Structure formats: C-alpha cells, structure tokens
Structure 1
C-alpha cells in the first residue's frame, strides 16, 4: 500500500469513527469513552484509577476529567487509598448500574444496530482486523 492509499484508509477510518461515535452517543446518552469506563468498572468492580487508565489506554488527565464528570452525575465514587495516599479507588454507583442495564435492555429490544449494517461474520472479521492494528 502506498502512502496515498494508506492516508486514504486512515482518513476513512477517522470519518467512520466520528460518525459512529456520534450515533452511539446520541442513542445511548453516554460518550463512548465514559461508556467503556463504566462497563469496565461494572465488570471489574472497585479498582484503581491507574487500572482504568491502563484499560482505556488514555492519559491520567483524561481519566481524571472523565471520572470528575461521572462523579458529578453520581455514576462513580472515588476514594483515596488509606494505605497509599497517591492511589485512588473508583467504584460504580447503583445509579450507574441501573442506567447501564437500562441502556443494554433498550439496545437488546431494539431493531437498531446504531447504523452498523454488518452480518455477525463481518462484525467478527472487522473486530479481528482492528485488534490486529491496535492490540
């Protein structure tokens, strides 16, 4: 693939990302990053802010910013580790658990796939290719 083809591919991926992210946020009411953050906490339970950062592959300032917004909306609680004052534990609130369950339920009962018209096989292939690009 020459440089022009590569830039075209990357640009197309950027456009797809922007459009699908906007649709996701409109349909769910969650930003994609915050949804991923909440799902991680829902699956893992209480964990450190550093664990969240490592899972989402974003910098500490971004994690802090997202957590502050989620805390203001009463979706998460943060508490300093009494044994290590530099470490912060993050937990999901019952409100967040209920909102995530409601969001999943609405999606499951809907015919909509957020505008993604792929077969299950195509979805699996796409995920495999994307994981190959960024493990």
Structure 2
C-alpha cells in the first residue's frame, strides 16, 4: 500500500458464473489444465462487473490450485473506472490456503487510476462476499 494515502475498506457481495472453456491450441490441450471464464456482478461498495479467465489444476474440492486475472469495471465508493485483479489459491484437504487477490499495479483507469489494494473472498451457504482493503492517491 502507498503510505501517502489512508487505507479504506469496501464490502459487499457478488454473483458469479463460471463456465468451462475448451483448450484452443495443442499446448493447452497437452497441459490438461482446466480453463474457465468468469462473469461477476458486484454489489455494495463495489458496483459493477468482473470478467476474467481462470486456470486450475486438481479436483477443486479436496486439492488443487488456481490462478486468474479479472477486470472489474464500475464504481468503487462512487468513483468510476476499472482495474485488474490477480488471484492465486491452493486447495489442501478441502480448505483454501494461501489465497491472495491483489490489484495489478497501475491497472486502474479514470477515477481509480492510482488504486492499490487486496481483497478477500468468503463463501458461505453458496453466497459470495468480498472485503477489499485499498488506497487511492488524492
């Protein structure tokens, strides 16, 4: 985080649709990794959409790992723009471990140009919520 601006917090929920994608080249087929598209709708302090791509390995229920890139477009605390999130997680014994979601540096646009931060996601009873700790330069 940038020390010249104060840390802010955003919370809310999101709906997500994950769709399997087919490999589109021999190298992707040979890797045997799962490729998925992400479509999200954020509600709360983040209002907008997220679109992305995920690569996964393992069964996703008891063990595995994934990486993803997601572009958010909408508003954060009333400020309009877009930014990119990078996701990384491991699944060990059915529980997420080392789950990180960070804003890609310098990916913010418009009123979110100076955005930096990290997000956590919780899933309970099939509902997804987020907590986003971020900073914006004035």
Which TM-score tier does this pair reach, normalised by the shorter chain? under 0.3
Query: Which structure shows the bigger proportion of residues in strand conformation?
Result: 2
Query: Rg bigger for which structure?
Result: 1
TM-score (norm 1): 0.26
Which structure has the higher relative contact order (CA within 8 Å, separation 6+)?
Answer: 2
TM-score (norm 2): 0.26
Query: Which structure shows the bigger proportion of residues in helix conformation?
Result: 1
